[in-house]
């Protein structure tokens, strides 16, 4: 029998020894929009956040990946990113990559409401509906060199319809998602008209619906998946018991006794109460987090940078801050192999020969030159050929087991012969604020540094593949190019130039995204403006309005409203 106990959850959760600081290739610390739509159906957009922290507390030496989804009537850009869901600080702390997509537009035979993720009904598979673009998006991000994402640390969360699709994705792809967090999500398989009333399906039916989503071909992976739900007791849109029904349904799927929680803990000094259920082996598998006083909303926490977002609560629990360490602490798929020792190399003009001592528990090894994997030997050596003379290369070696990699050993090796001029950086990209530009580019192997040029003039140097340029004029276009320095500090040719325009200063104090009638009801639109917006955009289309000293406008530059 599980023993009921109460304990306080501290603000800083101390994790297991598998959680440690690790040096990773830093990102921009900015939300960057994807260029692909990954359909069919096509995502309207997707934004990716790669932390800038070079020494985060990652698990098992690799980055985690979090897919997070908005609710009905929301968008990634309007309601999730830039502090709205409040993922950024947690992502930086734990080195986690976060991806926030926007739902495909319109309705289909299964998507009965435009602007909602397609959680409706049943009949999901691994190859239909919204699962298609989301899986392609996840696969694309995992495969990108330099992100160091561990395939055993992929998670999914979402609000409302996004919470419903969180359940679907975790059920269709239990081999991909090690953990899921459904926020105010309907019971899996409930009818659309039943979300505000008592749950009409049983935990056993929820479990069956879940397993059917992967064709009952991947159910073995549920043995190592973990589940979280978070909801407010004042939610009148999706009745709170839908969340507890989902927890019980996943308890059936996981084989976890849901009769009595093993732990009941106070979260953030009583802002929430979490019931934790363990499996027969004593592993935490299910977290049921109830937030008193919260309605239908994503719990972004009191420290959320962005306030007054529809269906986002910034007065209570910080769910990103809660769920991330819980996932990290309880992930059942982590492999925590130590780094190989005594990694050394010998070189010629064009080759490098590596060797190292074996790692106990490893069934093989992964060898990388920079971000490129060059080998997967079972022995403790690897040769690399076709290299440039007089060039320095960085190699990493990890032990592997169960399709996961352990901690990495690193060594720099310099080939013999004259030092060559290196290639110019590729992939120079920039994001802007009102008075600054953040540049990133693809690192050049062997680079001793980089020189950054703005409008043809040198403005600074960088030791890594990123640069921040500040003190700029707002609403102004700037051209940037970057060169590479070799070990003799000889400069390469300039990269392809990229033009970045600084943003117009924010003139508004509040923004709201809704359909035209909601704007009209909230007195953000006059009757004539409501009719004009409905005629031009459609009465169900969600669009933003901006509040400034002159009232409300649909123009981010605070010019007069016009449709």
For residues 495 and 526, state if they share a domain.
Answer: no
For residues 163 and 255, state if they share a domain.
Answer: yes
Residue 160 annotated among the catalytic residues of the structure? yes
User: What's the structural domain count of the chain?
Assistant: 4
For residues 444 and 361, state if they share a domain.
Answer: no
Task: Write the CA distances from 478 to 31, 292, 336, 431, 432, integer angstroms.
Answer: 20, 49, 46, 11, 10
Q: Which of 367, 384, 414 is the last residue of a domain?
A: 414
For residues 544 and 430, state if they share a domain.
Answer: no
Structure tokens at 117: 């993720």
pLDDT at res. 477:
97
Can you give the CATH number for the domain in which 403 is found?
Answer: 2.60.40.10
For residues 491 and 519, state if they share a domain.
Answer: no
Per-residue pLDDT of the chain (563 residues; tens, 9 = 90+): 333 333 333 333 333 334 555 567 899 999 999 989 998 999 999 999 999 998 898 887 789 999 999 999 999 999 999 999 999 999 999 999 999 999 999 999 999 899 999 999 999 999 999 999 999 999 999 999 889 899 999 999 999 999 999 999 999 999 999 999 999 999 999 999 999 999 999 999 999 999 999 999 999 999 999 999 999 999 999 999 999 999 999 999 999 999 999 999 999 999 999 999 999 999 999 999 999 999 999 999 999 998 888 899 999 999 999 999 999 999 999 877 899 999 999 999 999 999 999 999 899 999 999 878 999 999 999 999 999 999 889 999 999 887 678 888 999 999 999 999 999 999 999 999 889 999 999 999 889 999 999 999 999 999 999 999 999 999 999 999 999 999 889 999 999 999 999 988 888 889 999 999 999 999 999 999 999 998 898 888 889 999 999 899 999 888 999 99
pLDDT at res. 17:
35
Give a yes or no: residue 84 inside a domain: yes
Quick one: which of 319, 271, 284 has its CA closest to 80?
319
User: Angle 161-172/131-142 helices, nearest 10 degrees?
Assistant: 70
Q: Which of 272, 300, 330 is the last residue of a domain?
A: 330
**What pTM, to 2 d.p., does this model score?**
0.66
Please identify which of the residues 28, 114, 160, 492 carries the catalytic annotation.
160
Q: Which of 479, 501, 523 is the last residue of a domain?
A: 501
For residues 390 and 515, state if they share a domain.
Answer: no
For residues 117 and 142, state if they share a domain.
Answer: yes
Kind and range of the H or E run holding 197: none
Q: Other C-beta atoms within 10 Å of 296: how many? A: 21
Q: What is the CA radius of gyration of the chain?
A: 25
pLDDT at res. 540:
85
What CA–CA distance (Å, rounded) separates 237 from 102?
Answer: 21
Give a yes or no: residue 288 inside a domain: no
For residues 56 and 137, state if they share a domain.
Answer: yes
What CA–CA distance (Å, rounded) separates 318 from 24?
Answer: 26
For residues 539 and 436, state if they share a domain.
Answer: no
Give a yes or no: residue 220 inside a domain: yes
Q: Which residue has the tokens 């996961």?
A: 404
Q: Other C-beta atoms within 10 Å of 291: how many? A: 27
pLDDT at res. 561:
92
Give a yes or no: residue 539 inside a domain: yes
Give a yes or no: residue 114 inside a domain: yes
27 by DSSP, 3-state: which? coil
Structure tokens at 406: 């352990």
Give a yes or no: residue 191 inside a domain: yes
Q: Which domain holds residue 471?
A: 426-501
pLDDT at res. 87:
98
Quick one: which of 151, 31, 122, 40 has its CA closest to 80?
31
For residues 400 and 324, state if they share a domain.
Answer: no
For residues 198 and 76, state if they share a domain.
Answer: yes
Can you give the CATH number for the domain in which 168 is found?
Answer: 3.40.50.1820
For residues 250 and 207, state if they share a domain.
Answer: yes
Give a yes or no: residue 524 inside a domain: yes
């Amino acid at each position: 029998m599980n023993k009921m106990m109460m304990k306080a959850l501290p603000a800083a959760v101390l994790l297991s020894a598998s959680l440690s600081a690790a040096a990773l290739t830093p990102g921009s610390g900015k939300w960057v929009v994807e260029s692909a739509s990954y359909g069919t159906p096509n995502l309207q957009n997707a934004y990716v956040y790669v932390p800038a922290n070079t020494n985060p507390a990652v698990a098992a030496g690799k980055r985690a990946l979090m897919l997070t989804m908005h609710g009905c009537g929301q968008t990634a850009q309007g309601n999730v990113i830039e502090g709205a869901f409040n993922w950024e600080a947690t992502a930086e702390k734990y080195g986690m990559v976060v991806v926030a997509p926007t739902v495909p537009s319109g309705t289909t035979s299964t998507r009965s409401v435009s602007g909602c993720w397609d959680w409706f009904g049943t009949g999901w598979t691994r190859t239909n509906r919204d699962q298609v673009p989301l899986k392609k998006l996840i696969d694309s991000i995992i495969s990108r060199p330099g992100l160091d994402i561990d395939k055993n640390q992929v998670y999914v969360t979402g609000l409302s319809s996004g919470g419903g699709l969180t359940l679907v994705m975790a059920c269709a792809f239990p081999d991909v998602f090690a953990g899921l967090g459904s926020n105010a999500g309907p019971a899996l398989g409930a009818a659309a008209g039943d979300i505000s009333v008592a749950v009409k399906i049983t935990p056993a039916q929820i479990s069956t619906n879940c397993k059917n989503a992967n064709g009952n071909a991947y159910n073995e992976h549920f043995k190592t998946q973990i589940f979280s739900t978070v909801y407010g007791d004042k939610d009148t849109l999706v009745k709170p018991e839908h969340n507890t029904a989902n927890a019980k349904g996943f308890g059936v799927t996981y084989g976890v006794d849901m009769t009595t929680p093993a732990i009941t803990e106070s979260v953030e000094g009583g802002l929430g109460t979490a019931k934790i259920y363990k499996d027969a082996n004593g592993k935490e598998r299910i977290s049921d987090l109830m937030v008193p006083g919260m309605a239908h909303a994503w719990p972004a926490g009191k420290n959320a940078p962005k306030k007054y977002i529809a269906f986002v609560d910034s007065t209570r629990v910080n769910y990103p801050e809660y769920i991330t360490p819980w996932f990290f602490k309880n992930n059942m798929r982590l492999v925590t192999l130590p780094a190989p020792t005594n990694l050394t190399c010998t070189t010629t003009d064009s080759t490098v020969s590596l060797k190292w001592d074996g790692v106990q528990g490893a069934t093989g090894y992964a060898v990388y030159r920079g971000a490129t994997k060059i080998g997967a030997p079972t022995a403790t050596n690897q040769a690399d050929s076709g290299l440039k003379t007089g060039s320095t290369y960085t190699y990493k070696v990890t032990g592997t087991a169960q399709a996961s990699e352990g901690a990495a050993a690193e060594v720099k090796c310099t080939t013999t012969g004259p030092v060559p001029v290196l290639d110019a950086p590729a992939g120079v990209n920039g994001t802007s604020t009102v008075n600054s530009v953040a540049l990133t580019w693809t690192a050049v192997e062997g680079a001793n540094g980089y020189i950054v040029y703005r409008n043809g003039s040198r403005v600074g140097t960088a030791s890594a593949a990123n640069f921040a340029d500040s003190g700029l004029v707002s609403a102004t276009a700037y051209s940037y190019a970057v060169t590479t320095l070799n070990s003799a500090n000889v400069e390469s040719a300039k990269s392809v130039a990229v033009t970045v325009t600084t943003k117009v200063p924010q003139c508004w104090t509040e923004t709201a995204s809704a359909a035209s009638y909601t704007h009209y009801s909230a007195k953000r639109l006059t009757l004539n403006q409501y009719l004009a917006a409905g005629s031009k955009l459609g009465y169900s289309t969600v669009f933003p309005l901006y509040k400034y000293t002159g009232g409300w406008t649909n123009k981010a530059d605070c010019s007069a409203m016009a449709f």
